[in-house]
A and B are shown apart, each in its own frame.
Chain A
Amino acid sequence: AQKITQTQPGMFVQEKEAVTLDCTYDTSDQSYGLFWYKQPSSGEMIFLIYQGSYDEQNATEGRYSLNFQKARKSANLVISASQLGDSAMYFCAMRESNTGNQFYFGTGTSLTVIP
């Protein structure tokens, strides 16, 4: 079974609008972390935001927030006030303690911001 599932291969959003990128995960571990990365067309991987399994509040970093629903095992990334520079691939990843703190990545979502 896939550890991380991203069901949206491609998404479009109007500039200045908010967008939600979906991520569901599969783990039996109680202690795990969820990460989102951005990969622009230039290719580098940029860490955006982290959510711990024991965190009671949703993580926020500037225009990025993580909608963490533990019971549903979802960790959706919300980007508010989209900008043209947000056009990129976005990857969700999980790190769990019972597999030696290994990382598992989803297949990514391509986001295009329309002017």
Chain B
Amino acid sequence: NAGVTQTPKFRILKIGQSMTLQCAQDMNHNYMYWYRQDPGMGLKLIYYSVGAGITDKGEVPNGYNVSRSTTEDFPLRLELAAPSQTSVYFCASSYQVLNQPQHFGDGTRLSIL
């Protein structure tokens, strides 16, 4: 009963480094999402995907890239990490049906120093 799995759970990066946050879901959801949550704030959508091979920008896409080669996986890549990208990152997935909620991973806590 894995649901949405995010790795790693914690990471510290130096300014200018790059990394990929992994997200996998085993519920055969076609919609997947990446959010960031800054301390004490709500969720901001970074990128989303409505199916394999299809991705689109959300509210705050600058500094990030995504790909969706399979239904299950939706990695988020940070290029040239900056302190402003220090945040908690959540991956979520859902069916495309209107009444279906998003299922969230446990989050990745990322610090850029």
Write the residues of chain A forming the contact surface with B, with a CB cutoff of 8 angstroms.
31-33, 35, 37, 43-45, 47, 50, 52, 91, 93, 95-97, 100-103, 105-108
The secondary-structure label for the interface of chain A is strand
Establish whether residues B101 and A43, one from each chain, have CB atoms under 8 Å apart when the complex forms.
no
In the assembled complex, 11 residue pairs joining A and B whose CB atoms fall closer than 8 Å, in A order, are A32-B98, A43-B88, A43-B109, A47-B101, A47-B102, A50-B99, A50-B101, A101-B96, A101-B97, A107-B42, A108-B42
Partner of B31 from A97, A101, A105 at Cβ < 8 Å: A101
* A52 CA / B98 CA spacing, docked (Å): 8
Q: Please count how many residues in chain B sit with their CB below 8 Å of the partner chain's CB atoms.
A: 23
At the interface, yes or no: B43 with Cβ under 8 Å from chain A? yes
**A47 contacts which chain B residues (CB < 8 A)?**
101-103
**A50 contacts which chain B residues (CB < 8 A)?**
99, 101
Establish whether residues A106 and B42, one from each chain, have CB atoms under 8 Å apart when the complex forms.
yes
* Closest residue on chain B to residue A95 by CB atoms: B98
* A43 CA / B102 CA spacing, docked (Å): 16
* Closest residue on chain A to residue B103 by CB atoms: A47
At the interface, yes or no: B50 with Cβ under 8 Å from chain A? yes
* A44 CA / B43 CA spacing, docked (Å): 12
B100 to chain A, nearest CB (A): 8
Write the residues of chain B forming the contact surface with A, with a CB cutoff of 8 angstroms.
31, 33, 41-43, 45, 48, 50, 88, 90, 92, 94, 96-99, 101-104, 106-107, 109
**A35 contacts which chain B residues (CB < 8 A)?**
101-102
A114 to chain B, nearest CB (A): 20
A10 to chain B, nearest CB (A): 10
Partner of B104 from A44, A95, A107 at Cβ < 8 Å: A44
Establish whether residues B43 and A91, one from each chain, have CB atoms under 8 Å apart when the complex forms.
yes
Known: A91-B42, A107-B41, A108-B42. A43 touches B106 (CB 8 A): yes
Establish whether residues B102 and A44, one from each chain, have CB atoms under 8 Å apart when the complex forms.
no
